Amino acid sequence: MTLSHGVKGWLKSPRATVLRIEILVGVVAVSMVFLATFGSMRRRSMNFFAQKVVLVVYILPFSLVTYTLGSMQSSSIKSSMYPIWATSLYILFGSADSVTAYSLDDNNQLMRHAYETAICIFYVGLITVTTTSNAFNIYSVFAMAFYAFVKFMQRRLAHRMASASCDFNKVVADYMCVEHDRSGPSYNPVSMEGYQYLVDWPCYIYPTLDASTSYAREDKVVDLETLWQCNDRSLSQELKETCLSFSLFHLLRRRYFGFECAESSQPKTRSFIFKGLLARNEDGIIDYIRVFKVIEVELAFMYDFFFTKRAAIYYRPQLSVSWCLISYAFFIAFVVASQEWVFSPRHWLHVATTTTTDVVITIVILACIPLLEMQQMFLYWTSIWGRVYFACCCVRNQAPNIRRGCCMRVKEIFIRICVSMSSKYYGFPQENNYYWQNKLGQYALIESVQYNPNANMTFFLEYLKKQVLMGLSINHQIVDPIFEDLGRRNVNKLGKSIELPVEVKKALVQCLDRTQGTLTNGQSSLESNRAHHLLWACRHPDSGTSSPQKKENQAHFILTWHISTCYCEMATLKYVSPRPGGELKFHFDVATILSKYCAYLVMSAPKLLPGHHYDTKRAFDVVAIDAFNFLHNKQDKYEAMKRIPESRETPESREKIFKKGVRLGKQLEEMEDVSARWKVLADFWAEMLIYVAPSDNVKEHIECLAKGGELVTHLWALLTHAGILDRGQRNVVDIESTDQVDQPSSDQPSTEELSYGSVLRLWRASSYLDKCREGAASATYAINLPARRENCLQCYFEATVAATL
């Protein structure tokens, strides 16, 4: 009892109060240093520590800061160090550049951030005024508070740029509408001749008289063509590749803000990827490492723009440098003032004695501020943003009539040192240095079904629990989420993520080069491998009656081919062991890895796939239940699946996906050449992943950048720059060849000769005709089929006549 009373008494003592506040101040300081140092590592990993710990450190500081400031103000015992600690907390709270937003929605909460800033300013001012009476000390505190306010405004600028920077993106969108006219008809995607894609331009813009177009001063603009033609020896190929990624980042960012991609219909856009990035070298080999590295750095810019402060520093460099110099001047004055702080408290306050521990903690906190600033400044100038800034300075310095002062030369020397250090330690071409996790999530449906001979008893217990709750008159909407289907829960186990192998990159690039941008859901690969008998597995069973959104969904195709791939994998490994380095091993690894990755996307990231994500989830649930019901008590899954009889009575449209996948696997197993079988599967999965990559869900792709990133996002960005924005988009070359071959006959008017009214009637007639065809397709199961066909033929005749009027 004596010990407990002694502890309680000490906790209420003035020294304990000061010590508790010291601990809170130290926790905040450590949290902000941790966030600034390790905050960006979450884009390189999906594990729990990288994501959740960063989330806690991102959310916790404001609560700790307000609680600590409130404790300083409300405590009956004051310390002469309180104003110093309060101001330091305020500065540290707004100084972390590596994480300004945890999700995209955080960028839209501008009022919340303004409220947080106002609360901190109020507490700092109140603590300072009520604690010290020295005017110089008060001025020093408010000077440092002003510095902290500048840091918060810089943070607010980053939020605003990530949520409402339509002016920047309007410039890019308007520029790309006329870029092909400015550059002329000739272009070379290898030397970048004719590709005047924007790299850097002044932040100030000039609207035209009608306010529909925005542009910048041409003498300040740096584009890809100018950059590639610059003969400055400081511009290495590494810096040019970084600027290429930066230029592509502008084009991709434009989609998030809803601006059109006007260049997508131009032939040079497609050539930029298929004849530029995918160009073969002298040995006839495509540098697939370079292709993915350019896109990887582009998405790194995208992450920094939406989740860090680096974009605000880049687009406002003069503001950042000037405020930094002013801040250091204020900081020096603040340190000088703090030396006399302990001797000037207000006479009516009960002030605790300042100990050596207080002084040491104060010195450490004060030292954290400049060290944190220097660290972040160094990290910025050695990052990809600093490299782009240096490259653009080199291009502008070669322009005529350019005069550089001493300050500019000193800055260039500093940037050169930083760029050389970044090239040495964080070089662009290094394969082991990634800006994302460089891993593929894996999920195998058949492997996840664990052998459980007692599963029937588990089913009975689950059924009994459910019936008991139903008997208690509890709504089924409450019961169902609690007791989810046992089959889904037993197959909802992700496999371990694997490093993205170079074989997969090579297969994807080869598929892009083979198809030249013509997207199919695997049909093209089957035809090229002469596997026409498998085309049924790529066609929608009820294409005549399904809605366009259901037709767009590819979950049933992915799951069907995934089950067949798992079946073939078990069959192959039972009799054959692929030799490392051989052709069979290459195709086997590509097919199995991409199959499990696509299944992983269906289960864990359905919003990245075409169609509605709920339809994708439901398709997975149904297949998971069927797989569990059939395989949960089977020890040898391959033999069990092999013994499934083929149902000839069930129509293909009503056949379950699980059985359809087994049937497809058996057809593949009948191929005598094992290597050819796996080549069919490898080519199919490469083409399928490319097919599902185009998406309008830009927000979801950007959100996943902060969670480690996904390979499908890299393909989405790559196809965007090739002008492929959706799956129904025709190839530019196909359109041109069709226009050249299919010339209009003399008795039929061409589209150019038709008037606006005729074209409108033609469009209405074609729409009416499509509706009639849909009606005819849906009426095939009706009794009055002949009458409906006659009506549709009559509609066809009327529509044709209306179109020619």
- pLDDT higher than 90, residue 306: yes
C-alpha to C-alpha distance for 85 and 120, rounded to whole angstroms: 12
C-alpha to C-alpha distance for 133 and 129, rounded to whole angstroms: 7
Contact 775, 545 (CB under 8 A): no
Please write down the HEC assignment for all residues of 193-249: ECCCCEEECCCCCEECCCCCCEECCHHHCEEHHHHHHCCCCCCCHHHHHHHHHHHHH
- Tens of pLDDT, residues 595-646: 999 999 999 999 999 989 999 999 999 999 888 888 878 888 888 998 888 7
If one counts every other C-beta atom within 10 angstroms of the C-beta of residue 121, the result is 17
Residue 694: phi, psi to the nearest 5?
A: -60, 135
Nearest C-alpha neighbor of 710 from the set 720, 696, 700, 721 = 700
pLDDT at residue 251, rounded to an integer? 95
Q: Which of 127-131, 296-300, 748-752 has the highest mean pLDDT?
A: 296-300
What is the mean predicted confidence (pLDDT) over 573-589?
A: 86
Nearest C-alpha neighbor of 140 from the set 329, 297, 271 = 329
- Tens of pLDDT, residues 37-55: 888 888 888 887 788 888 8
- pLDDT higher than 60, residue 145: yes
What is the mean predicted confidence (pLDDT) over 107-133?
A: 83
Could you tell me the residue ranges of all domains in the chain?
9-165+317-383, 167-310, 445-449+491-692, 752-804
SS percent in the chain: helix, strand, coil, step 5: 70, 5, 30
- The band of 484, judged by pLDDT with boundaries at 50, 70 and 90, is very low
Alpha carbon separation from 297 to 247, 277, 456, 542 (Å, rounded): 11, 14, 52, 42
The token duo for 684 is 């199919």
Cα-trace Rg, the chain: 32
Mean pLDDT of the chain: 77
- Tens of pLDDT, residues 688-744: 999 999 999 999 999 999 999 999 999 999 999 999 998 865 554 444 444 443 444
Q: Which of 269-283, 401-415, 761-775 has the lowest mean pLDDT?
A: 761-775
- Tens of pLDDT, residues 180-189: 888 778 899 9
- Tens of pLDDT, residues 546-564: 566 666 788 999 999 999 9
* Strand 214-215 with 206-207, pairing: antiparallel
C-alpha to C-alpha distance for 712 and 292, rounded to whole angstroms: 12
Report the Cα–Cα distance between both ends of the chain, in Å, rounded: 104
- pLDDT higher than 70, residue 650: no
Helices and strands counted in the chain (H then E): 35, 8
Cα 234–384–189 angle (5° rounding)? 70
Q: Which of 550-554, 678-682, 686-690, 762-766 has the lowest mean pLDDT?
A: 762-766
**In residues, how long is the chain?**
805
If one counts every other C-beta atom within 10 angstroms of the C-beta of residue 295, the result is 23
From the number of C-beta atoms within 10 Å of its C-beta (0-12, 13-18, 19+), residue 507 rates as: buried
- The band of 19, judged by pLDDT with boundaries at 50, 70 and 90, is confident
pLDDT at residue 780, rounded to an integer? 39
C-alpha to C-alpha distance for 180 and 600, rounded to whole angstroms: 40
